[in-house]
Structure 1
Amino acid sequence: MGAEEIGALLRGARCAARLTQAQVGQATGYSASAVSRIESGKLRLDCPTLLKFAAFLRIAPEALRASAVPGMTNVATVAIGCRSVEEDEVRRRELLTGVAATGATAVVGARPAAAAEPVDLDVALFRLPQAEPMPMPRLIRQISAARRDYCSTQYTRLGQTLPGLIASATATRDASTGRAREEADLALARSYVLAAELATKQHSDAAWVAADRALAAARCSGIPVAVGEASRQLAIAMRRSGRSTAAVHLLAKEAGDLDASRDHTGAVRITLLLTGAYSAATGRDRPTALSLLEEAEQEAERHPAVPGLFTVEATRTQVDAYRISVLNALGTPDEAVRVARRLNVDRMPTAERRARAWTDVARMWNALGDGKQTFAALRRVEREAPQEVRRPSLRALTSGLLYGPTRIEGVHDFAARTGALAG
């Protein structure tokens, strides 16, 4: 397993345990800044120290023996002393693991997994069930239903559906030829895009695998829209591993390959620019982030909204929501207040997008030290998407309000029902 993957695993376990970097550092003999570098893959650990971190975060030792998957696009792995040099592909696939957000007890917790926990995509993507080919109209209907589950934040049901859906799409593709095979590749790409998006929600390293497979299928389909959206998912996985600059370069290249004059390809191009802006912001590249935002805004004004295009809408409202997240990432949340006040979240077409927008508003107010406004935004997230507010990052935000210096009425009950209250 590479340093970046190990960092992502440690970060996911820490978030699931609702610990700060300072708390982890105090327990392991490191500073908070050192823990930050470890989680971003910039500081490698020797084997004994890594095991010390794993013991404190309650990560199963076998999770640390996972190695990078061969063929994964743009993954730079860094060897460490804990794994053997030669492992066959079957072994790699069996051991690929990560932290699965609300299902993090599979790695972090000691309690057995409950029946309603999300499927662990890290395992499911390598152990797909047996499936038979199906008629293309039926496959498309099932993919559309899965997309609706994602957009309505029915993540548990989506996780249970996706392995079988991907297996069916794979079997259909393998049994097809010619134009029918290209259509099946497009269906397979869309299935893997949903898997990548769900894995990202779950803070799971399976997002790398799903995005890579989505891009491979999309390129075989020859559909530029599919290639663009799969590339976007791969760039998100890269960014979350601390490789913001590489993510921006990938997004810029893919955006440049799309025809901006056509509605569908132009809409995907806008989503690539928005994701590129946020990726640049996480790398604190303010000029690039703002430049990409402005370009996306100008193009959004020239294109009508394209309904049903994957899971992100290329609209002016969406641009405003991304602008808040970009300004948060750049460390200037005060500049986002004006944008937040004009943002009409109710105009966003899906519960997932509305919840994401309210999440960015909550983070803005939290960074500005306004606990009451933060809590108000978190309650809007819950209203839109109850499963969304149980994600590790939002539970951590809730815990900060619960144990912060200001008492806010209703936070304790909110923390209890969303899983942010320890014990």
Structure 2
Amino acid sequence: MDALHPFWSSPEVLRAAATARYGPLARAVRHARRLTLAQVASRCHLSLSTLSRMETGQRKLIDVHYLRTLSEVLEIPPHLFGLAPAFTGAAQMREDGGPVNVGTAIPGGQDGDEAMRRRQVLAGLVGVTIAGVLPGTARASTGEESLEALLLARSQCPAVPVPLVTLSQALADAQRKFEACEYADLSRLLPQLIATAHASKDASVGQMQERMSAALSRAYLLGSELAVKQHRDCVARVAADRSHSAAEASGDPLVIAASSRAIAIGMRRHALGASEKIDRDAGLNGAITMLTRTALDLGAEQGNPPVPQLASYGSLLCTASYSAAQNGNTAQAVALIEEAENAARRLKSAGSGMGNAQFSATTVAVYRIGVHTTLGDTALALTYFESVEPRRLPSAERRARAFVDAARAWKEHGDVERAADALHRAHDCAPQELGRPSVQRLITALVDSPGRTPATLSALVHRT
């Protein structure tokens, strides 16, 4: 169980730590790690009966020596045993990732036992409050609920700060889940990850706080992208806005660009649902303007900018081109996608922007499929699909997305069988991608198409 595992923030653990019930806490951890009483007693050089009495509370576990030993053997974070100050709003983090305690630390050594007793008294004073609050706010959320839970994470998920390297690793793992289309797992992980990012930022100062803000922005960005996948547009827009606020606090232009792209996607999707044409046009034009201005602010339109900068520039233009296509502006859409192609040619290697904004000549070709299908030129869209080598796409999510876009193009082109085949290949890449509401509607439309239903489509209906 790593530092971000939900176990450490569960009501049982936090209540035991807050009330200095260290024996029951040790027993809960031992059970979670699937260790027997005999195994732990042997490693701690304790008799079975002594350890058993400690775990059940018959013998108070207050000896600093035994607390330290159990903490090491069971890999319990020291602050849960009162052996180190817990990170709170009164603690800050140095730029090297270490804590700067601005409160009063509890010393070890000669005065350790007395310090432990003082800590127990203080814990008893606050224990009732903590126990009263946490049980109602630490519910495990799953599926649909968790998308709203990520917006409430800061207040409802107990979390402690972690070093930047730990937070970055957790974000990288979450990003890999998105790219593998493991959306159900990701939706369960994100609230705790966001809460931890908030706690880490709040406990930091100076440049470290700026870097933690960038990490928080990435966490919310991932939440926004996941909400878009599930067509939860309100959640996506709020998460994108929070990502942008954290990005501005970081001062990192690439992080700001990524969050701006997410906001523009939200604007575009909201505009497409508008009942009045004037609102629709205004929303789409606003999204296009935001995307193009953000791209130009990167200063990557000429010269030899760094690869991440150029990749972000190209990704923003691809998104702007698709938005222009949805607004029916062919000239603007083509001009933007051609500039994105030019950016891809200038890349010395495959590049990636922040979040899901991977960029290469191949990803531009995939965007071309959607752009030209939307503009009504499915023959040209399918020409670009034929030019795509799926193995060159950076993730299962991107490969599945390419096949889904091709399926839409084949449907509009009047070839249900090849559309079904493209969806079948998308399913092989990433089954959860076909569970998206928009893809389910596409499958339904293909089933309802006149004529014979292809066998591959019938099989796909049963698999999804």
Q: State which of 113, 122, 129 in structure 1 corresponds to 2:148.
A: 122
Q: CA deviation at 1:340?
A: 1.4
Matched, 1:350 2:376: no
**Which deviations, in whole Å up to 9, do the C-alpha atoms of 1:347-377 show, x marking residues without a partner?**
1010011111111100000011100110010
Partner of 1:277: 321
* Counterpart position of 2:237: 208
Please name the residue that 1:254 is paired with: 294
How many residues in Structure 1 have an aligned counterpart in Structure 2?
304
Q: What does residue range 60-75 of structure 1 map to in structure 2 within 5 Å? A: none
CA separation in 1, counterparts of 2:142 and 2:152? 21
Compute the displacement of 1:310 (Å): 2.7
Residues 145-224 of structure 1 mapped to structure 2, 5 A cutoff: 145-204=173-232, 205-224=234-253
Structure-2 residue corresponding to 1:235: 264
Show the counterpart of 1:300.
Answer: 344
Shift of residue 117 of structure 1? 3.0
Quick check: 2:311–2:352 contact (8 Å CA) kept in 1? Answer: no
1:330 aligns with 2:359: no
CA separation of 1:412 and 1:116: change in aligned 2, threshold 3 A: farther
Task: Show the counterpart of 1:412.
Answer: 458
Shift in Å at residue 299 of structure 1? 0.9
How far did residue 309 of structure 1 move? 4.6
Tell me whether 331-340 or 147-156 shows the greater mean CA deviation: 331-340
Runs of 4+ in 1 over 6 A off after TM superposition: none
Q: Deviations over 1:360-399 (max 9, x none)?
A: 1000000111001100100011001100011111111111
Residue 319 of structure 1 pairs with residue 347 of structure 2: no
> Which sections of structure 2, spanning at least 5 residues, go unmatched?
1-140, 272-282
Offset of 1:211 from its aligned partner?
Answer: 0.5
- How far the C-alpha of 1:143 sits from its partner, in A, is 0.4
Match of 1:244 in 2: 284
Distance 2:353 2:370 in 1: 24
After superposition, the C-alpha distances for 1:273-294 in whole angstroms (9 at most, x for unaligned) are 0000001111111111110000
**Aligned in 2, Cα 1:281/1:307: closer, same or farther, shift over 3 Å?**
closer
* SS of equivalent to 1:410: helix
Q: 1:290 aligns with which of 319, 327, 334?
A: 334
Residues 259 and 240 (structure 1), Cα distance of their counterparts in 2 relative to 1, 3 Å cut = same
When you count helix as a share of all residues, which structure comes out higher?
2
| Structure 1, unaligned runs of 5 or more | 1-114, 419-423
What is the deviation of 1:247?
Answer: 0.5
Q: Secondary structure at the match of 1:360?
A: helix
Per-residue CA distance 1:274-329 (angstroms, 9 max, x = gap): 00000111111111111000001001111121258532321100110001100111
Q: Residues of 1 paired with 2:324 and 2:212: CA distance?
A: 34
Contact 2:369 2:405 in 1 (8 A): yes
CA distance, structure 1, for counterparts of residue 143 and residue 459 of structure 2: 22
Counterpart CA distance in 2 for 1:300 and 1:400 is 35
What RMSD, in angstroms, separates the aligned Cα atoms of the two structures?
1.5
User: Could you tell me which amino acid in structure 2 is paired with residue 174 of structure 1?
Assistant: D
Shift of residue 179, structure 1, vs aligned partner: 0.5
| Whole-angstrom distance in 2 between the partners of 1:308 and 1:290 | 22
- Counterparts of 2:150 and 2:342, CA distance in 1: 41
1:116-162 deviation per Cα after TM superposition (whole angstroms, max 9, x unaligned): 63444134412541211111111111000000000000000110000
- For 1:315 and 1:119, locate their aligned partners in 2 and report how far apart those are by CA, in whole Å: 35
Distance, in Å, in 1 between the alignment partners of 2:145 and 2:428 is 24
Tell me what 2:279 maps to: none
- SS of equivalent to 2:364: helix
Alignment partner of 2:446 out of 401, 405, 418: 401
Q: CA–CA distance in 1 between the matches of 2:167 and 2:184? A: 20
The code of the aligned residue for 1:315 comes to S
The one-letter code of the counterpart of 2:284 is S
2:259 maps to a residue whose letter is A
Write the distance in 2 (CA, Å) between the matches of 1:225 and 1:119.
31
Give the CA deviation at 1:417.
2.2
> Which digits, 9 at most, give the CA deviation of each residue in 1:240-277, with x for residues without a partner?
01121110000011001003122211110110000000
8 A contact 1:142–1:165 mirrored in 2: yes
Mapped partners of 1:364, 1:302: distance in 2: 29
Tell me which residue corresponds to 2:74: none
Q: Which structure would you say has the larger Rg?
A: 2
In 2, Cα distance between equivalents of 1:388 and 1:194 = 16
Partner amino acid for 2:258? E
The 3-state SS of whatever aligns with 1:192 is helix
Relative distance call for 1:350 and 1:153 in structure 2 (3 A) is same
Change (3 A) 1:221 1:127: closer
Q: Deviation of residue 410 (structure 1)?
A: 3.2
Task: Give the whole-Å Cα distance in 1 for the aligned partners of 2:402 and 2:214.
Answer: 29
Residue 377 and residue 151 in structure 1: after superposition, are their counterparts in 2 closer, same or farther (change >3 A)?
A: same
Do the aligned residues in 2 keep the contact of 1:119 with 1:156 (CA within 8 Å)? Answer: no
The question of whether the paired residues in 1 share the 8 Å contact of 2:146 and 2:188 is answered with no
Structure 2 counterpart of 1:138: 166
Segment of structure 1 superposing worse, 392-401 or 126-135: 126-135
Look up the equivalent residue of 2:308 and give its one-letter code: H
Q: Which residue of 421, 441, 445 maps to 1:376?
A: 421
Q: Normalization by structure 2: what TM-score?
A: 0.64
